[in-house]
Amino acid sequence: MSARSKILFILLAGAGHGNWAWDKLHILLLKLGFLVLPIERIGKDRVRYLQEVVSAVGGYDHVVIVAHSIATADVVDLAGYDELQSGKVSWVLVAPPPIGFDLSYQLYIVFAAGVKLLRSAVKENNAVLMISGKMAYKFLFSEIPAYAYHAIFVDGKLRPEPLLKWFVFGRYEKLLPRGLPGYAYVVVPMRDAMVPARFQLRLAGRLGAEVFQIVGAPHDVMFTHPESLARVLQEIVEQVTGIEP
């Protein structure tokens, strides 16, 4: 049995939100050699649905739970289960581009879930929050506590340099405390057009926290670039578990 066959991806599509992108992501992950379990809410009561996710975690070396932002309420509930409060579980929350949604409301739901998820799970889990849109930075710095994220991707690429432990973004520098415990991945779409070129990323001093690698993807990766998302997920697993490509 290969090492990758002991890693499970759980795809949470929310309430009837199956689409071609999730299906393609499923196929791509299978081609990469991972096990994939899509779990839908259709036809199940909430308790049964959540327990199905929790029960699937056992027997694997590492589990990556990938949730569309429409399923953020599910993520918040799942983060409270003891079985998922473990270093063997990584979380990926994918926020979609504003297609058919009110952007501000959609982002608020995503960030509200992200706050609760990171506060409850970040000390043990490897949390990944993928955000997008014009309101992203407002919510990032006002709603999510600074201790919850110690790694932010740069230019849409995984950056392995261990010294990239913080970033300071323009006027928000004063909101970022130093040396706080905990770690997480945070994916911020720096390619988003709302980011003016004059704002430069600057690295701040050394932190006392453990920091994993920095990953990223375009904000519309879920819908237009599932191949990119599959590669990002592969990189996350390889970094967290040490499994080589």
Model confidence pLDDT, tens digit, residues 51-63: 888 888 888 888 8
Phi, psi (deg, nearest 5) at residue 229: -65, -40
Per-residue pLDDT at 244? 58
CB 208 within 8 A of CB 182: no
| Contact indicator for 5, 30 with CB cutoff of 8 Å | no
For the chain, domain boundaries: 3-241
Cα(230)–Cα(66) distance, integer angstroms: 11
Per-residue CA distances from 235 to 54, 86, 214, 239 (Å): 24, 20, 10, 6
- How many Cβ atoms are within 10 Å of 177's Cβ, its own excluded? 11
Residue 143 has a CB neighbour count (10 Å cut-off) of 14
Q: How far apart are CA 121 and CA 92, in angstroms?
A: 12
Residue-wise pLDDT tens digits, 155-210: 333 333 322 223 333 323 333 333 322 233 333 333 332 322 222 222 222 222 22
CB proximity list for 190: less than 8 A, separation 6 or greater:
153, 154, 155, 156, 201, 216
DSSP SS3 for 20: helix
Highest-confidence range of 5-9, 40-44, 77-81, 175-179, by mean pLDDT? 5-9
How many residues would you count in the chain? 245
CA–CA gap between residue 27 and residue 29 (Å, rounded): 6
In this prediction the pTM is 0.54
Phi/psi at 67 (nearest 5 deg)?
A: -125, 130
Assign 13 a pLDDT band (cuts: 50, 70, 90): low
Range with the poorest average pLDDT among 25-29, 37-41, 146-150, 210-214: 210-214
Task: Express each pLDDT in 132-164 by its tens digit.
Answer: 333 343 334 443 333 333 333 333 333 333 222
